A = this chain, B = another copy of it.
Amino acid sequence: MDSGWIVEEQPFHPEHLKAYEGLFTLGSGYMHIRGSLEEHLSGAAQNMTYTRMPANVTSEKFLQTECEWGTYVPGVFGRHPLLSNEMVNLPFFLGIAPIVDGERLDLKTCSIEDYSRQLNLRTATLTRTFTWRTGAGKRIDMEFARFIDAAHPHLCIQRMRLTPDADLDLSVRAGIDADVRTNGYDHFTGVQLSLAGRVGIDCVVRTDAGDTMGALTRLVAEADWRYESTARTAELVTDVLLPAGRTFVLEKRTAVTTSRDLEAVEAEHLLTDTSVRGYDELHAEHMAVWEHRWRGCDVEIDGDDASQRAMRVSLFHLLRAHVGGDCRVAIDAKGYSGEAYWGRYFWDTEMFLLPFFLYTEPARARTLVDFRVQSLAGCRRNAAKYGYPGARYGWESDAEGDECCPNWQYADHEVHVTADVVYGLTHYARATGDEDYLRGPGAEVLVETARYWLARLDQREGDDYLSLLGVMGPDEYTPISSNNAFTNAMVGVALFLASCYGRFGGATVEECEAFAAAADALPEPRSEDGTLVLQCEEFEALAEPRFEELWKDRSRSFAAQVSQERLYRSKCLKQADVLMLMMLFPDNYTAQEVRTAWDYYLPYTTHDSSLSAGVHAIVAARLGLKDEAWRFWQMGRGIDLDVERGGAAEGIHIANAGAMWQMAVFGFAGMQTAMGTQVAISPLTLSPRMPDQWSRLAFPVVWKGVPVHVEITRKAVGVLNRGTGPLVVRVGDRDRKVEAGEQVTWETPT
């Protein structure tokens, strides 16, 4: 079996369960379920009520639990009295618990052998096999499998097989548990549970925001079931005499619907319609969808199994997390696999996630940018709340676009997201060639955000330029600064674009002129000798961070070891800031300028943020710093996979998943983005700088509507044009035309 497609948990360690729950999250876009154990783990209550306080998530200590259920339908937000709107954790319907001779299966207390749990990335299927030696000395071969049906996104299909070596008194309990919390809070104002038919459970919950979610479960097994319930849980229970050597098979199929669904799906009909198809038939349909998805984006890495697997883990979650054609939602900061970031939408969408979709499946990229367009009303409310005209995107947006960030330093000051959104819209238009998007749906966003910026800018006494003051840049450890280079540049771009397309979005000629003038009047702070781009005006006047003395344990974040107050007055960086800017706009900086910034900022950078590794790897690759690029690639590779350090316990770092793709494609293959150059019409450009550890890097991309396949080895760079017209491609500095259906090969530049 191709190990590059399999992620395995083996053996079982309870302390790693939460990390695997996050890592093994399955999803159909419509719904997502963390990789929790069917039979659950003893003692790990899921109904604890507690108050999660507004805090810096990076250094937050999460409630210690051994596992955490998570059932998410994107768009179902509840009202939290303290933390604002958050994605609701819905009822857990995976439960299947076998009890043998009175002994309930429990990985913590039972004797378990040959344990293996595998996520097959290719087929998006989670399987688990092990042998259970019961207290009575019986040996039972167990097998669990499940998938969320990509062909029927409302459907979750599970199967358990149980084969004993001796006659068994077997009981099985299969149910739905609605006694769950979201970040310790109970969002359900109503829970209804009932027997559905003779082998089903119907569960309907109503959230405090007025949404309803229904989960209808049906069991398929040769058994008689009885119904048992409490106020918030319901189970079907059977007792079977299972002879030695016979296999007990249980299938559990659950259809999920909510009051927010785009199309009316009737769970009853869905289950009945699909009931004629067996598990294998449904699984085959499901796999076919995933096979198609992988064809459009798989990045092949030869010579390095660990990187290949990590790459595919990232791609798997990117594919899973995208909600399909529903532009009322985007992809939250944990890719719908944990509640740490409340299921909200950050700048991650535009800067870390969008590029992957843009260059592999532009239609899905369109959904993400449409999300920003459709949530403009919420952004107008945000601007008004702060006393500004126009629109202001929330640092943490819910589905309506309303600012939900409960920490004022981010909500008030990390304003760059509003410009990042415009960057994203424009990236979409440039990468797809669909410039009409900026004249059509995007134009109002450009105008409304530019109106906000005009009011937000200050001209200080004595200055002959404008300033953006009181700003937090991507480095969140300098909370309130003046003329942050990244933010100024992004706002400058946004204002320039508004001046170009503003007339299509309702701006007057005078307004467009004002946008253009403001774009030109925003400074880039530099050191006195001009060689160093300063993160912000104040950066050089901050304290030295004294890492040697204060950052004792480098395996944990710096922020976890010093007070926030020290972070805020010191030169320590949470993540790339100036380097991020230089990564986005490589044409604006000389190699020397980038190198100067690299040498200056890197020693100050803690990489406390998972957004840091990818940017640094790409910049390092461009600078020819092979060892550094490799080091940051490895750092990114481990963020979700390093279960020892928590990994994806609180959810997948989905922005880093996007960054993994960017490191491979923008970094090691050296592909220029459609925004990376000032020339709007540019060829597909590749400057490969493959790690020494790899022998081959191959991937498909779509460049302005033309699908191509790129194949890089030590010796050659091949580009196959899978489109219907010719395409100019530049490798190194050699432009060549690649005809439709043709594969052209370059010598790999050195």
- Give A residues with C-beta under 8 Å from B: 51, 53, 81-82, 385-387, 408, 412-413, 458, 460-461, 467, 469-470, 479-480, 482, 537-538, 541-544, 550, 562-566, 568-570
Contacts and interface: CB of A to CB of B under 8 A. Distances in A.
A236 B570 CA distance: 64
A541 B482 contact: yes
B412 A563 contact: yes
B569 A480 contact: yes
B413 A81 contact: no
B387 A543 contact: no
Contacts of A470: 543, 565-566, 568-569
Nearest to A546: B458
A593 to B, nearest CB: 21
A252 B566 CA distance: 56
A564 B408 contact: yes
A542 B459 CA distance: 10
A161 to B, nearest CB: 48
A568 B415 CA distance: 14
Nearest to A469: B569
Give the interface centre of A81, A386, A461, A480 by most chain B CB atoms within 10 Å. A480
Nearest to A544: B461
B460 A543 contact: yes
Give the interface centre of A469, A479, A544 by most chain B CB atoms within 10 Å. A469
Contact of A480 (B479, B541, B544): B479
A51 B82 contact: yes
A717 B538 CA distance: 53
A385 B562 CA distance: 9
Contacts of A565: 386, 408, 412-413, 470
Contacts of A570: 458
Contacts of A412: 563-565, 568
A12 to B, nearest CB: 37
Contacts of A564: 408, 412
A131 to B, nearest CB: 47
Nearest to A565: B412
Contacts of A482: 538, 541, 569
Contact of A387 (B81, B413, B461, B566): B566
Nearest to A478: B480
25 contacts: A51-B81, A51-B82, A53-B82, A82-B82, A385-B563, A412-B563, A412-B565, A413-B565, A458-B543, A458-B570, A460-B542, A461-B544, A469-B541, A469-B542, A469-B543, A469-B569, A470-B565, A470-B566, A470-B569, A480-B480, A480-B569, A482-B538, A482-B541, A537-B541, A538-B538
A570 B480 CA distance: 12
A483 to B, nearest CB: 9
Question: Across chains A and B, which 4 residue pairs bring their CB atoms closest together, nearest first?
Answer: A470-B569, A458-B543, A412-B565, A469-B569
A725 to B, nearest CB: 50
Contacts of A458: 543-544, 569-570
Given A412-B565, A480-B480, 4 more contacts: A460-B541, A460-B544, A469-B569, A538-B538
Contact of A562 (B81, B82, B387, B566): B387
Contacts of A469: 541-543, 569
Contacts of A461: 544
Contacts of A387: 550, 562-563, 566
A565 B542 CA distance: 21
A562 to B, nearest CB: 6
Contacts of A568: 412-413, 470, 480
A387 B543 CA distance: 16
A562 B413 CA distance: 15
A48 to B, nearest CB: 15
Give the interface centre of A412, A413, A470, A537 by most chain B CB atoms within 10 Å. A470
A82 B480 CA distance: 25
A22 to B, nearest CB: 29
A573 to B, nearest CB: 16
Contacts of A544: 458, 460-461
A243 B619 CA distance: 96
Nearest to A461: B544
A576 to B, nearest CB: 22
A538 B569 CA distance: 13
Nearest to A460: B543
A612 B537 CA distance: 31
Contacts of A408: 564-565
Contacts of A413: 565, 568
Nearest to A566: B387
A26 to B, nearest CB: 36
A468 to B, nearest CB: 9
Contacts of A543: 458, 460, 467, 469-470
A672 B541 CA distance: 38
A635 B537 CA distance: 38
A426 B505 CA distance: 65
A531 to B, nearest CB: 16
Give the interface centre of A82, A568, A569, A570 by most chain B CB atoms within 10 Å. A569
Give the interface centre of A408, A537, A565 by most chain B CB atoms within 10 Å. A565
Contacts of A53: 82
Contacts of A82: 51, 53, 82
Give the interface centre of A408, A563, A564 by most chain B CB atoms within 10 Å. A408
Nearest to A462: B540
Nearest to A467: B543
Nearest to A568: B470
A412 B467 CA distance: 27
A460 B540 CA distance: 9
B563 A386 contact: yes
A559 to B, nearest CB: 12
Contacts of A460: 541-544
A622 B81 CA distance: 51
Contacts of A386: 563, 565-566
Contacts of A385: 563
A254 B734 CA distance: 96
A81 B82 CA distance: 12
A469 B538 CA distance: 12
A600 to B, nearest CB: 12
